[in-house]
Amino acid sequence: GPEMVERGLAICTSLAPIIGYDAAADISKVAYKTGQTVREVAREKTHLSEEELDRILDPAAMTRPGLD
């Protein structure tokens, strides 16, 4: 389900263009070490709203063909 996707660290790549590679990598490391989801850590460590996180961490958008 959705939480399993958010526990996958690869989803952090969708954060990199928004918050930068280093910050996204840090979120990935914290999620791995603590067992939190990427969303939970991103909520704590960034200024992104819940709506922005919904859009950025949407796996369907990440796998949709084409460029936006």
Say if 29 falls within a structural domain. Answer: yes
Q: Which domain holds residue 42?
A: 2-63
The pLDDT of residue 31 is 94
Closest residue by Cα to residue 11 from 34, 65, 32: 32
Say if 50 falls within a structural domain. Answer: yes
- The predicted-structure confidence for 14-65, as pLDDT tens digits, reads as follows 999 999 999 999 999 999 999 999 999 999 999 999 999 999 998 777 666 6
Say if 68 falls within a structural domain. Answer: no
